[in-house]
Amino acid sequence: MKNLITKISLLLFGVLLLTGCGDKFLEEDLRDQIATDNFFNNDQEALLAANGLYRILHRGSLYRTRGLDNYYVNGADEVGPSRNVNREITNYLIAEGVADGNAQWASLYEIVRNSSLFISNIDGNENLSEEVKDQTLGECLFIRALAYFHLTNLWGDVPYFRELLPLDELGSLERFSKDVIRTDMKNDLARAKELLPSSYSGGDLGRASKWAAAALKAKFHLFDKEWTLAKSECDDIIDNSPHRLLDDFAAVFDQTDPANQYNDEQIFAIDFTTDGVFGESNTSRTDDYNPRLRDEPSNRNNRPGGAGTPTRWQLLQADLQAIDQDMSGFGWAIPLPELANQNNWDPDDLRYDVTVVTEYLGYQLKFPYFRKNWNLNNTSPRGNHNENYIVFRLADIYLMAAEAENELNGPDNAYPYVNKVRERAFEPDKPWSGMSQTEFREAMYDERKYELCTEGYRRMDLIRWGILLDVVSTVQHRSFNNPADNIKPHHVLLPIPQDEILLNPNLLNTDPTNNGYR
């Protein structure tokens, strides 16, 4: 069982080396082992330590499979199951010990522990070149801030430390104000932004740049309603970074070529690769979105040519095989009915056909799917996918800037930001104009949904806007789900995991109700 006081496994750097590699930029030469009692005598050792932090991000509890998606994508108004699975989260049956995020908590605190240890051993280390010292220190600060971003989003006040503590102290920590934690993380990200390079190339693609730090800092500010600071960070990225909006919305998510998975719009992505050396270098998240042939197509057992001829599913399978594709996923993460219905989108919104698919190769499908998340190519096989998880991209930054400007000054100077995103989304162009501040704010509710579907921010957006309960209670769900009957105000946060409370009862000192779950 993992918990906050688990012995710090990465002090045993043999474990670090095994868990810290296996991705494209992590596939390092491991012949130079690191002694357990002599940290970071050279650049290679510091780089391997940073790689170990990225490795944790690749876990199934975080970005590799549904992990964080359970609490950021599900339970809102975008994604629902095609059958009665994941019901505790979908139906808001969360309780202590039931879908309480214990695995996410453990992985995020492992990042906090290890990054704090590494920061103390990198900062001021004269054995390292200035270039590597700056980069790895910036990476550790960024990844630790990302961990605390998730921790404070999901649980609010949480145990907090910036330097590695003795195990007995770690095991007795109380919860700490999330406002103080987030203020410190913003300061750390400002430092990371100064330390990190502007871009990477070749085998280092996937590492955090200064613009990744700026994007995370902007997220903190936006979620905390610090509109001026949020807009300042967004403007810096828009005006000064090498990132640009792609002309084609579909190209943003095109992962079919493993050698060409990065593009200019992506600011930070978790880098997965097929057939990596280590077990978590690939992703299985894609399988949730890929259809399974046993479901498809509609009327699958019908024989269009009459008795004795192939069924519709056999015909579909043959057509898929002819283009080296297959429907071998789990097929359960599908659009909720209202999102899948094109009549609920603007008829000129080009994003619908990129986001949702209801027909393929001439076959009407039984279920709608998220086209932007599937990859049917046999080069990306079931359980061994290479698709990167896009964490931050430039279109989101434009929409954040638009929202912040509207909150500060009304919509007049916010239109250029949102209309830049809408330029490629509509044919003919449909820019916004003539709105009140309230109308602009409420229009942004849908604009972010259509632009950023399934990208990991919808549920938190609904929470920060204060409309999660209203949306979940009114959106159409499938007959086997009933979240509207169960969702309560306290569901905007998770309960501190039961396993953690059993080990450390002090976690209830500042809130005996455990975020309202008791």
For every residue of 302-343, which 3-state class applies, written as one string?
A: CCCCCCCCCCHHHHHHHHHHHCCECCECCCCEEECHHHHCHH
Q: What percent of the chain has pLDDT over 70?
A: 92
* Rounded Cα gap, residues 385 and 377, in angstroms: 10
Task: Give every CB contact of residue 438 below 8 A, 6+ residues apart in sequence.
Answer: none
Query: pLDDT value at position 309?
Result: 97
Query: pLDDT value at position 398?
Result: 99
25 vs 186 pLDDT, higher one: 186
- Answer yes or no: is pLDDT of 34 > 90: no
What global pTM score does this model have? 0.93
- Answer yes or no: is pLDDT of 28 > 50: no
| Residue with tokens 């943003």, as numbered in its chain | 252
The per-residue pLDDT for range 447-470, each reduced to its tens digit, is: 999 999 999 999 999 999 999 999
Are the CB atoms for 217 and 183 separated by under 8 Å? no
Cα 157 to Cα 114, 368, 507, distances in angstroms: 21, 38, 10
Q: How many CA atoms lie within 13 A of 127 on its CB side?
A: 12
* Rounded Cα gap, residues 324 and 207, in angstroms: 32
- Answer yes or no: is pLDDT of 46 > 80: yes
- Biggest alpha carbon–alpha carbon distance for the chain: 79
- Answer yes or no: is pLDDT of 29 > 90: no
* Rounded Cα gap, residues 301 and 96, in angstroms: 44
Listed by start position, the domains of the chain span 285-341+360-384
Are the CB atoms for 227 and 235 separated by under 8 Å? no
Q: What percent of the chain has pLDDT over 90?
A: 86
